Amino acid sequence: MTSPDLPANPPTLHDVAREAGVSLATASRSLNGSARTVREPYREKVLAAAARLGYTPNLSAQAVAKGSTMTVALLVADIADPYFSSIAAGVIRAADDVGLVVTMAATERDTRRELELVRAMRGQRPRVLILAGSRVEGDENELALRAELEAFQSTGGRVTLISQNTLPFETVLLDNFEGARALAASLVELGYRRFAAISGVASLRTARDRLTGFRAGLADHGIDLSDDDVAVTAFTRDGGYAGAEQLIPRITDFDLVFAVNDVMAVGAMSALRDAGIAPGVEVGVAGYDDIPTVRDVTPALTTVRIPLEEVGARALALAMGTGEQSAPIATEVILRASTPRRG
């Protein structure tokens, strides 16, 4: 009389215990092979029963009982952006290695939303909360965010930031300043002299560090980069496109355009081409990050490599207390066809 496949409930530990003819406690102990031992006649029975029933422990129940979960929460600005998806891949891989599962959400570069997401994620009682994505200084939600993170921390949670050493939490530090400085040095060595840049707003820490680092590198060689030669736009491909458009009227004044990240550089190259200017030939282009795409664009893009997956892995290690705190991530200048040696 019963409907053939009405949604039965998943087997519980109780079912396993009954099936095996033992108590709940014995069943539990047999399955998570923990502290106390279970003697052989029993243990085997439980394992068999569990297999027979296709038992999978309810992680929520486990979390309630043990008072802690096995999850890490990851917040990124934009999942489809290769910068973040590479980092996410690193986090997920590392998490997986230690038996943690990661839940992910996208802030869409909106700090209001980021705050909401942190609140929502806290409901999961994750062991770790990782925030990636450039933070704006002096944002109206900064205080609330900080308070939320501190509350999380004070209840035993670990929080790790990626790159954005804006907030007082453990951070995977990318030395954006030094990376950009080294890039500038390499470019000068190649013969470039007249520079322009495309950057994000100065309150964006990452953008600012890269720009000032680049400036410092130029200054080391007595070259100046005036504010007039810096286009300020959004931190996206389309931002890079728009930034290049601003520079194009005076493009003959420059022999190199530095975009503070690769997606912007790619957008800039596109704008240049659309304006009939050959990137890498009439004007050099350089970016930052070394996302996978940039070795496949033409000309291949000169950039500063960040080992993105490693950054993700490191973020988790840091939170778990596994990683060496201080060791900064090593970056490396990668010279490609977009910056040929110049006369």
Considering only residues 42 to 81 of the shown chain, the ones binding DNA according to CB under 7 A are: 42-43, 55, 57-58, 61-62, 64-67
Residues sharing a CB contact under 8 Å with residue 259, sequence separation 6 or more, in sequence order: 197, 198, 199, 240, 243, 265, 267, 268, 285, 286, 287, 288
Shortest CB 70 distance to DNA, Å: 11
Binding residue for DNA, selected from 37, 103, 298, 325, defined by CB under 7 A: 37
Nearest CA-CA partner of 195 in 184, 182, 180: 184
Dist CA 264 CA 237 (whole Å): 4
Q: Distance between alpha carbon 35 and the CA centroid of its chain, in Å?
A: 37
Nearer to DNA, 24 or 330 (CB): 24
Q: SS3 of 172, please?
A: strand
Shortest CB 17 distance to DNA, Å: 8
Facing residues of 198 across strands?
231, 259
Nearer to a second copy, 81 or 175 (CB): 81
Strands 303-305, 332-334: pairing kind: antiparallel
φ, ψ (nearest 5 deg) of residue 71:
-120, 155
298 binds, among DNA, a second copy, none (CB under 5 to 8 A by kind): a second copy
Work out whether 119 is an interface residue with a second copy (CB under 8 A).
yes
Considering only residues 3 to 32 of the shown chain, the ones binding DNA according to CB under 7 A are: 9, 12-14, 22-26, 28-29, 31-32
Strands 256-259, 195-199: pairing kind: parallel
Q: Which parts of this chain interact with DNA (CB under 7 A)?
A: 9, 12-14, 22-26, 28-29, 31-32, 34-39, 42-43, 55, 57-58, 61-62, 64-67
- Binding positions for a second copy, rule: CB under 8 A: 5, 7-10, 54, 56-61, 63-64, 67, 69, 71, 78-80, 82, 85-86, 88-89, 92-93, 96, 101-106, 119-125, 151, 154-156, 237, 266, 269-270, 273, 292-293, 295-298, 309
